[in-house]
Structure 1
Amino acid sequence: MNYSTIKKTAIAASLVAALGYAENAQAQAQVFGGRSQYRTWSIGVQGGITTPNVLIGGQNAFGQQVGYFQNKVGEYYGLTVRKQFSHLFGLEVEANRGSIKTFNSDLASFEAGSGANGAGTARSAKTSVNWAASLNGVFQLGTIDFMRRENAINFYAKVGLGAMAFNPVQYANNDFTGAEVYNNKGKWGEEIFGDRERVGNRDYRLGMYVPVGVGVKFKLSEVVALNLGYTMNFTDDGLLYGNSAKSQYNQRFGNLYGGLEFTLGSKDKENLTFANPVANLYDELKDPSLRNEVEALKQRVSTLEGAVAILGTDTDGDGVSDRFDKCPNTPAGTVVDGSGCPILFPEAVVVEQAKAEKFSAIQFEFDSSVLKTSSYAELDRLAKDLRASNSSVLLNGYASSEGSAEYNVTLSQDRANAVKQYLVNAGVAASKITTKGYGDADPVASNATEAGRVQNRRVEIKL
């Protein structure tokens, strides 16, 4: 596979993948609670070495015969800034600088082009990379783990597009310190207009490159990870190692690196880079509040099944179907209106109000606003009455004396709101329900004993 094919394939793949992941990243993160519950920004520092070739092979323009060019190690270091969009994908800005080195083991195999010191035979070359910067798509390869709840090792692949400023220098010897046979520093950017020539004045040549790499991260703590990787860099330039007989071939180089990555944000939040969606799903399914909601739904289904069974029947025999009867259980022989309610004189109205049905207080566990399943029957009865009579209800929440006064007021309000939510789910209009939290005020029993405190953890119902 030649460079042009690799370049086009890498760019196309990176753009398609980045667009696809960016489009779905929000949806992916929302499945497991949204990105707001994670730390998604990180910075990294790295250092390593460069080689004038890559693992997949290919021609190196510095030389004409295979085997004549020997790898030399150059230094390479830089930093990264990454934004993780989901447990699968992130975007990274990477910046590096350093050098790339190589030398020719056959002195006669290479003739350098014109440079600072004229034409001559080059024995070695050193390319100084003043800066190289790229935007990379980073694809997490090992985030889903069915065996462990937390990932400590994460494999990744990356591909991107970048620009670099470099200057190659060719030498007549192998130690990169002898006579220079090629150095165009200060002359890059030369242009010719007809018979006029403008001499360039730049120290570095600008070029594009495509980084393609793989790596692995080891989680050292909730903040720090060890990052090891290898990147193949495919340039669009034949002068990466200076002028030569093969300068028409676009050049490449590899870099092997290691470094540390630091995740930014609150330590109370999980690092999205190492998040395991399977563990998150397990946690959500085991959430006690979710189980309570499931139990409440079961009770609601049971209630609805019973309501369907009696739909259209006239239980009290007053001539009005229960479906439309606003006053069920009317005593036999009572004169009712079209809604099934008794037609009463004012004195009779007073009597009916005096006989209004009372409802028991709803009890709660210590430091909890979750409804007990034992309260569902009473709440269903209350909901049925409120729907039938279209009455309003006041829910007063209370707490025992444990905890601060401020905390108890909040807890008692949460308890009243829990009862309200159940009634709303049962078909009672929210506008008919008023809630108020009174904390540990107005105890119905002594807070000196546990038995008394149990009675004080309640919501009272006032029609």
Structure 2
Amino acid sequence: MQIKKTLLLGMGALMALGGQAQQTADYSIPRVTPFSGVNDYRTWSIGVWGGLSAPATPFGNNDFKRMGFDQLGAIYGISLKKQIYHGFGLQADVMRGQVKGHNKAGQDNWLALHDGDPLTFTFVRNFKTSIDLAASVSGVFTLGTINWLNRQATVLPYISAGGGYMRFHTQVGNTDDESVGYINARGDFDESKPDASTAFYIPVGIGAKFNVATGINLDLSYRTNFINHHFFDGVNGSGHQDKFSGVRIGLEFALGNRSKPQLAVVNAPAQLAMDLYERNQDLKRKIDQSNEENKQAIEGLRGQLEDAKKDSDGDGVADIFDKCPNTESGVRVDGAGCPLPQPKQIIKQEKVVVTQQDRKIVDEAIKDLEFDLGKATIRAASFPSLDRVAELLVNKHFSLKLAGHTDNTGSNTLNMRLSKERAESVKAYLVSKGANASRIEAVGYGSSQPIATNDTPEGRQQNRRVEFTLY
């Protein structure tokens, strides 16, 4: 029992020391968005550790009763952990080291020697088991990451349980110092070193991690290893399967992007509080900025009001109300500073009558109208007919619509442009002869309105035209 008390007291002292060191640490963890899943965290970590082992456990001892510090063995190993959730992860451990035990005189265990006939026996006072290699996978349950006094979880208590296999050699002796030989996998005595024994084992532990820096944890734990083997300690005096315990201290290092926090140590309420605090500070900054902008805007409005009291155009209406600034002197204005409307003059429009003779003149102009090939240049032969149309527009105040058309030769874009340019060319000529430009409308339709087939030269010739419509 003395060794158990010593191991537990030692573990408690290390935890207290880690807690005291944590109280003086001053650092912050990276900020993440709450409720965003585990992608914003580092979930992989690697650890190295070392510690002491003993054949005594809280669940009973093995076949060796005398306990003391001289019977403690050294164990060490590495671990790789994947954090699944805030409170649960999977950890793989690889371990090596020794487990030792000793009995007082008169409390020796007897061992059958199978190297003679009849069987002879010898007593075993001590054993030393060398663990060549032990590998296990355990589930690690974090008991709490909430710390209401700090912005991050500094102490993380946990429990773990798993399973694995170990390979070992067990050496026994019958005096305090002398070694008799080895125990093979069947429990038989062998003076020479036999092949290694293998056994399934279940590690069950309790511990705590101390977040000493961003991505670095101090790991303290106590584990009991239940071994599915009767001769781990060299003898089978108790008839029960063997077990041993160990105290471990190590360091765990988070892997991955350093800008992300470690999932296992994040204090979720603190993260939420940090997010709300930063949002509040950002809102406060925006309000302060808005207040400053409002002050500047108010000062600007005051200046504008002073300027608006002036009557710049002298029409009797202040600039602030004057919707028609710069009114000429002497003009009568309304309350908005705009000139009063003048009485409208009623203009009687004569009825426009298009005669048959008028249409004949237009038809002749259409018939005689010619352009240079692929251009909007009017040929001189068309001028006499166009002159008569211009005279008609001037004398009778007719309105005229000019609609340009082409065949389907060439692209639509080219045809639309050419038809528009030809109609505009006719309009420009008529205006040059005195016609009112506001009464002439020129549009282009390209090849969209054929009057004949485009499959023959004659049909295409008919489609290349400018139509005149009098009204």
Report the TM-score when normalising by structure 2: 0.48
Q: Which has the larger radius of gyration?
A: 2
Report the TM-score when normalising by structure 1: 0.48
